[in-house]
Structure 1
Amino acid sequence: MYEKYYGLKERPFQLTPSLNLFYASKLHKRALAYLQYGLSQGEGFIVITGDVGTGKTTIANQLLSQLNQDEIIAKQIVTSKLEPDDLIRMIASCFNLVVTEHTKASYLDAIYSYLKRLHSQHRRALLLVDEAQNLPLASIEELRMLSNFQLNGKPLLQSFLLGQNELNAIIQADNMEQFRQRIIASSNLSAFQIEDTKAYIQYRLLQAGGNAGILQDACFALIQQHSRGIPRKINTVMDRILLFGYLEECPVITAEHVKTVLEELSQEIANQQPSAPVMQVQQPQTASTQSMLSELSAVLDSALEQKIRMAKELDVLLKRQQQLLNSRDNKES
C-alpha cells in the first residue's frame, strides 16, 4: 500500500524472512560463519540459540540459499514436542523416504540406506532442526544416535539445531554429556543495540529501493525502546510507521509521528499485557460484626446444648419403657 508512495520495490519490513533483505549484524555474521564452518567439517552438531524474533530462521534460510545442491541435500524441519519415534518418522518424511512397515526399525533402515546412497554419489545430507527447544531430551539423544551413521569412518548425516534460549538449559542437563561432546560450535543471537537497529532499518529501506533518510534520527531511539532491538518487533513497528506516513502523507517521518504510531500499537490487543486476576480482599471485621458473630455463636451453642439434653432425657425414657416391657413379660411367663 505504501510502497509506491515511498518509492519501494517491495515491503522492506514484512514478517516473512526475505533473503534479499537479510541484514548481517556482527552476531548474525558470526552465527552464519559457524554454520558454514560446520558444513566444511562435515560432522558434529552446530547449535544456534536466541530469543524469539532474533533471526535464527533467517540465518538458516540464508545458509540454505548458499548450498551447492549437487553436494549437499539439506532439509529443514520445525519441531513440536516430538517423541523419538515421531521424530524419526518426520526425518524420513522430509527426505521423501517410503517404508513398507511402519516400525522404527524400518524407518531407521530407510534413512541409513538413503544416506549410504548419497555417499555413493559423493553427496551428503544436512538436517536443520528449527525450534529445537521443543524436543524432549530423549529426542535430542535420538539425533545424536543418528549422527553415528557412518561409512568408511565418515558421518553420513549432520544436524544443525536452532532454538530459543531454553535449548541451552536442555543441552546442559547431566545426561546430555555425550551430546555436548558432539557440538563443534555454538552461538547465541541477542537483540540489537541502537546502532544496529538504525543500520538494520536503513539497510532494509535501501535494499527495497527506498531512501534511508525518510526517518529522522530522533525516531530510532523510540523504535529501539519499543522493540528492545528484536528484529521481528522492529519489522512490525516499521511497517506500521510507513503505513501511517502514507496515510498522513508524510514524506519524512518525525519522532512525533513515531510516538503516535507507538501509542496506537499500545492500545491493540497484541501488545496489551494480560490483566492480573482480580483478588478478593477479605474485609476486616468491624466491632459490630464481631459482636453479631459472638451472639450467633452463643445462640447456636445454647440450641446444641438443649438438643443434647433432650437426647439424654429421651434415652432415659426409652430405657424405662424397655424395663417395664421386660418386667411384664416376666410376669406373664
Structure 2
Amino acid sequence: MYLTFFGFREKPFNLTPDPKFLYLNASYREALASLRFGINERKGFVSLIGEAGTGKTTLLRRLLAELGPDVRSVLVLNPAVGFDELLAFILTDLGHVPAPGTRKLQMLEILNAELLDTLARGGNVVVLIDEAQDLAIPVLEELRLLSNLETAKEKILQFVLAGQPELDDMLAKPELRQLRQRIAVPARLRPLARGEVAAYVAARIAAAGSDARGLFTASALRQLYGFSRGVPRLVNVACDSALVNAYAAGTRLVDGKIMRATIKDLRRGAYRRSPAAVWRMRFATVAIAVVVGAVMGIAASRLAGGSRERSTAAAPTPSAALQLSRAERTRAEGESRVAVAVPSSEPEVIAAAGATPPPEAATPSAFRGGADGAGPSAAEVPAAAVGAAFQPSGGAASAAATPSRAPVAAEEPVAAAAPPVAAVADGNASTVVAPSPARPRRTPRTKPMARAARPRRSPTRDLDVDTDVRSGVSSGDAGEVESGVTDEHHVVIQEGDTLTGIARRKYGHSNAELLRAIQRANADSVADRNRLMPGETLVLPPDPSLPEPMPAATPDVRGTP
C-alpha cells in the first residue's frame, strides 16, 4: 500500500522470518557462531534461548542457509507432538517415509542405518527444533536416548533446541539433569539496546531498497524503544503501523506525534499491557515509594535526635542550675561582707567581714608594700589576725588584734607615712581594715623575710557546699554566723551528714589529718567516721594544718618622719 509512496521494493517490516532482513548485532553474531560450531564439531546438543520475538526462527533459517551440502538438516516448527510422530517426521524429511503402523523399534533401526550411511559419505545430520519449550518432558528424554546413536569417536546426530526462557526452566528440572549435562554449547539471544533500535530500523529499510535517513525522527525512535523494549518483532509491528499512518497523513516523515498515536492504537488492541504487567508496575511504584519514605523518615529521625542531643548538651540540668544559683548568691553575699586580698606573688591574707571596708581594702594593692607603694607589706599583717581568720567557725568575736611590724630585709625601703593596719572588734566577727594612704613614689620591691603561712586546701571541693575561695567562709557557715544557732566549737549531726562534709562546711576544706583530729576529739561518739548518728553533737577541735596564733603585740602608731 505504501511501497511506492516511500520508494520500497518490498515491505521492510514484515513479520516473516526472512533471513535477508536479519540484523546481526554482537549478540546475534555470537549466537550464530555458537550454532555453527556445535553442528560442525558434532557436539550433540546445542541450545538457543531467547525471549519471544527476538528472532530465533529467523536465525535458524539463516543457519540453514549457511550450512554446507554435506549437512543434512531437519527443521521442526511444531514440536507439540509425541515422540513417535516426531520420529516419523524426521525419517520422512530424510527420505524414508515409514509405512502406516510401523513400530517404534523399526523406525529407530531405519534412522540408525541412515545416519551411519551419511557418516560413511562424510556427511552430518542435524535436527533443529523450534519452540522447544513446548516439548513434553518424556519427549525430551526420548531425544536424549536418541542421541545415543553414535560411534565410539563421534556423534552421528546433532540437535539444536531453540526456545523461550521456559526451556531453561524445564532443563533445570531434576528429571532432565542428564539431558542438561549433554548440552555442550548454550547460546542466548538478547533484546536490542536503545542505541541499536535505530540501526535495526535502518538495516531493514536498506534491505527493502530505500534510505532510512530522514524517515524516522529521533523522538519517534525514542518512543519506539519505549514501546518495544528492543524486541525486534514489536519494532516491526510499530514501524509498519507508523508507515501506514504517515501514508494516510500524506507525509514522508514519521515524527514523534505519529509514532505516539500509533503506539496508542496498538496498546488499545492486541499489544496492550497484560493485567499482570500493570500490577507489577504498580507494585514496583509502591515499593519504591515505601523505600524512599523509609529512608527519608530515618534521615529525619537522625537529624531530630542530633538536635535534641545538642539542645540537651547546651541546656544545664536543674541540679546544675541550682548549684550555679547558690554559688552566685553566696558569692554576692560574701562580697558584701568579706574583704579579701590574695596577691599573685604574696601569701593569702583573709579577713572575716563585720563591717564594709573601704574600696581600697578589697583590692590586692591594699596589702602590698614596696612595689605598689600603698600600705604595709604582707609581712606587716599581724599573724594573730591570720590565725583568727581560719578558725573552725566565725561565729564568736575574736579579741582585738594589735598589729606589729614584722622584720623585713635590711635593704627594703620603708614606705613613707604608711598608716598602720587596724583590727576592729565588731560583734561576733573581726575585720582587718587597711586605710588607703597617699600613693608615694614607686620603689623596687624586695622579698620579705617573713611570710604569713598559707592554709592548705583540698584539691577537690564538694559542689553541694559552695565555699567562697576568697573569704574561706562556706555558705552553710554564713547562715550559722548570722543566726548564732551553733557555736564555733560544736556542731549537731543532721540526717545525711558525713565527717568529710562537716569538715568542709566548718573548716572550708577536708584532709586526712583534720578528719583524724575530729575523730580523736569525739572518740566516744565517732567510732567509725563513715557512720554518724543524727542528733549527736560533735566537738570541733582547732585545725591542725594552721599555725599556732602569735601573741598579741602593741601596735606601732608612730609615724614616719
Cα root mean square deviation, aligned: 1.8
| Identity within the alignment, % | 28
Query: Residue 460 of structure 2 corresponds to which residue in structure 1?
Result: none
Q: Distance in 1 between matches of 2:118 and 2:187?
A: 29
Most deviating of 81-90 and 169-178: 81-90
CA distance in 2, matches of 1:143, 1:80: 12
Match of 1:299 in 2: none
Find the counterpart in structure 1 of residue 243 from structure 2. Answer: 242
2:263 and 2:147 map into 1 onto residues whose CA distance is: 48
Are 1:153 and 2:169 matched, yes or no?
no
Report 1:1-333 matches (<5 A): 1-69=1-69, 71-100=70-99, 101-151=101-151, 153-213=153-213, 214-268=215-269, 270-272=270-272
1:187-216: per-residue Cα shift (whole Å, max 9, x none)?
222221211111101111122121222111
Question: 3-state DSSP class of the match of 2:54?
Answer: coil
Pair 275,227 (structure 1): closer, same or farther in 2 beyond 3 Å = closer
Q: Distance in 2 between matches of 1:196 and 1:7?
A: 24
Task: Measure, in 1, the Cα distance between the counterparts of 2:273 and 2:153.
Answer: 54
1:169 and 1:82 map into 2 onto residues whose CA distance is: 20
CA gap 1:220/1:275 in 2 versus in 1, 3 angstroms: closer
Q: Report the structure number with the largest CA radius of gyration.
A: 2
Contact 2:19 2:59 in 1 (8 A): no
> Aligned partners of 1:158 and 1:41: how far apart in 2?
10
Amino acid at match of 2:203: Y
Distance 2:207 2:275 in 1: 41
Report how far residue 275 of structure 1 moved.
7.7
Runs (4 or more) in structure 1 with deviation over 6 Å come to none
CA displacement at 1:152 relative to structure 2: 5.2
Q: 2:90 aligns to what SS in structure 1?
A: helix
Aligned amino acid, residue 77 of structure 1: V
More moved, 78-87 vs 254-263 = 78-87
Q: State the AA in 1 paired with 2:6.
A: Y
Q: Which residue of 1 aligns with 2:504?
A: none
Unaligned runs of 5+ in 2: 277-561
Structure 1 CA distance, aligned partners of 2:67 and 2:83?
A: 28
Residue identity opposite 1:239 in structure 2: D
Whether the aligned pair in 1 keeps the contact of 2:43 and 2:185 (CA below 8 Å) is no
Q: Offset at 1:267?
A: 2.7
Aligned to 1:292: none
Is the 2:223–2:260 Cα contact (8 Å) retained in structure 1?
A: yes
Distance 2:256 2:224 in 1: 9
- Helix, strand or coil: the match of 2:162? strand
Question: Could you tell me how far apart the structure 1 residues matched to 2:153 and 2:7 are?
Answer: 56
Q: Report the residue type matching 1:166 in the other structure.
A: E
Contact preservation (8 Å) 2:88, 2:98: no
Aligned AA (1:263): K
C-alpha contact 1:77 1:94 (8 A) present in aligned 2: no
State the distance in 1 between where 2:268 and 2:181 align: 48
Q: Is contact 1:98–1:110 with CA below 8 Å preserved after alignment?
A: no
Query: Given the superposition, is the C-alpha separation of residues 265 and 258 from structure 1 closer, same or farther in structure 2, using an over 3 Å criterion?
Result: same
Q: Please give the alpha-carbon distance, in whole angstroms, between the structure 2 residues aligned to 1:152 and 1:120.
A: 14
1:223-274 CA distance string (max 9 Å, x none): 1111121111111111111111112111121111111212222233x23457
User: Once structures 1 and 2 are overlaid, which stretch shifts more, 156-165 or 183-192?
Assistant: 183-192
8 Å contact 1:265–1:271 — kept in the other structure?
yes
| Number of the residue aligned with 1:327 | none
Which residue number corresponds to residue 331 of structure 2?
Answer: none
TM-score under structure 1 length normalisation: 0.78
Q: Normalization by structure 2: what TM-score?
A: 0.47
Please state whether the residue corresponding to 1:115 is helix, strand or coil: helix
SS of residue paired to 2:4: coil
8 A contact 1:194–1:220 mirrored in 2: no
> Which structure is richer in relative contact order (CA contacts within 8 A, separation 6 or more)?
1
- The letter for the 2-side match of 1:119 is L
Shift of 1:84: 2.6
Equivalent pair of 1:45/1:183 in contact (CA under 8 Å): yes
